[in-house]
Amino acid sequence: MKILYYFREEESYMYQWQRMHIFNELEKYGHSISTFNPILYQSVEEANSSFLKELSKNHDYDLFMTCVGDVWIYEDTIFSIKKYGIPTLLICFDNLHVPFVHKRNARYFDLLWLTSSETKYLFEKWGCKNIIIQSYAANPFIFRPKIIETMDNGVAFIGTAYGSRINKLNELLSNKVICNLYSSLTVGENENRRLDIIERWLSIPNKLNNIVPMLGFPIGRKVIYSAFLNKIIKDKGSLIQNDYLNIYPSVSFEEMISIYSSTSLSLNVTELRNTYVLSEPIHKIHLRTFEIPMCGGLQFASYTEELSSYFEEDKEIILYRDKEEFISKAFFYTDKKRNSLVDKMKYAARYRAESQHTWYCRFLNVFKYLHLGN
């Protein structure tokens, strides 16, 4: 199948993950993805015009898809694509907290793919009729378990430590649970970086552009409220420095796979942005949710109904509902006496991920909905 992807692509992993996950996996099954990058042009108008010129020369595609917001693709461009008889797909990777970026154009696509169900009602309100809800996934060809000789009996976290991540790590550390943090930034650098992001996000002239749309729906208001609450509380925190904390530099993808494969538990923090300060945080499922088990890791995360629907609790994933359970399960599964049990659960998690949570599985549902071949 030939897919044309209108892809606002930059060099950072915020964009490049799609090549590693989606492009690579679909190509393994014989599908080809051609891209058009609008940021390579002087203006959005020029990008849309150039895209249509290229499409007029070659419109032999089975599917058009994009994940860009309204500002990057014009309504007329979408209609022009459909005139060639090419089915159109809009993927909304962040519809949980920024659904409004697709408010104007979403209804014009043949199929809308949401990764979170919570804001589906908004898209229906905006006139969208053909909606499929599917979360992220992971590429089983790249994220393959490594054969290990010995288990690293601890809790691993890969990424920068801030906010709820620090809180959770500190809870483990204060209870003498071994934690391995893989991040090249120091605690102070993490916090300064995080504060810089918040300040930019709240700065003029971007302040009203960012805040006003988010005030229009409950999750957006919670995100705004939690951001200001966090600034008022000023409880930035820092990692507890004790003998149970091991800090290592950031790792490559190959190293990440080995770490997930070899460590007893891999921590997944799902609280969205600053909402961890709320009594009922907002949780967002993301790539790590599926990368960990696909790498042969055993995921350790807060209980949510959605997460428990993807993996069977205490057989394929470890979930906790409160601090007491968080600590007790951490101790239980990092005990070397449980290594054989942990290995069994890792195998089950990988099997579940490989059979149900690949990008090919997700796109098969898209192809079926649009009456396309496999």
C-alpha of 112 from chain center: 18
State phi, psi for 112 to the nearest 5 degrees: -115, 125
Residue 189 has pLDDT above 60, yes or no: no
The residue type at 130:
N
For residue range 208-250, what is the model confidence (pLDDT) as tens digits?
677 889 999 999 999 999 988 887 775 557 899 999 999 999 9
Tokens 């203006």 label which residue?
43
The residue type at 295:
C
The per-residue pLDDT for 204 is: 42
Tokens 């908004």 label which residue?
122
For residue range 342-352, what is the model confidence (pLDDT) as tens digits?
999 999 999 99
Strands (E), 18-95: 32-36, 63-66, 88-92
Residue 60 has pLDDT above 60, yes or no: yes
Beta bridge partners of 271: 283
Q: Which residues contact 16 (CB under 8 A, 6 or more apart)?
A: 9, 10
First to last CA, the chain: 8
* Domains along the sequence of the chain with CATH: 2-137+358-369 (3.40.50.2000), 152-356 (3.40.50.2000)
The per-residue pLDDT for 236 is: 58
Both tokens of 143, joined, read 């994220």
For residue range 146-188, what is the model confidence (pLDDT) as tens digits?
999 899 999 999 999 988 999 999 999 999 999 999 998 744 4
Residue 197 has pLDDT above 50, yes or no: no
- Beta carbons of 211 and 255 less than 8 angstroms apart: no
The per-residue pLDDT for 184 is: 82
Both tokens of 198, joined, read 């918040």
For residue range 99-111, what is the model confidence (pLDDT) as tens digits?
999 999 999 999 9
Residue 33 has pLDDT above 90, yes or no: yes
CA angle 140, 145, 149 (to 5 degrees): 175
- Rounded-to-integer distance, Cα 202 and Cα 206, Å: 7
- Comparing 192 with 43, which gets the higher pLDDT? 43
Residue 369 has pLDDT above 70, yes or no: yes
Q: Which residues contact 181 (CB under 8 A, 6 or more apart)?
A: 157, 161, 169, 239, 245, 246, 247, 248
User: CA-CA distances (angstroms) from residue 173 to 7, 113, 157, 330?
Assistant: 42, 40, 13, 11
For residue range 68-106, what is the model confidence (pLDDT) as tens digits?
999 999 999 999 999 999 999 999 999 999 999 999 999
Both tokens of 14, joined, read 């915020």
Confidence of residue 191 (pLDDT cuts 50, 70, 90): very low
- Give the SS3 label for residue 138: coil
* Average pLDDT score, the chain: 93
- Give the SS3 label for residue 41: coil
For residue range 124-152, what is the model confidence (pLDDT) as tens digits?
999 999 999 999 999 999 999 999 989 99
Average pLDDT over residues 120-127: 98
Q: Which residues contact 322 (CB under 8 A, 6 or more apart)?
A: none
Beta bridge partners of 320: 302
Residue 202 has pLDDT above 80, yes or no: no
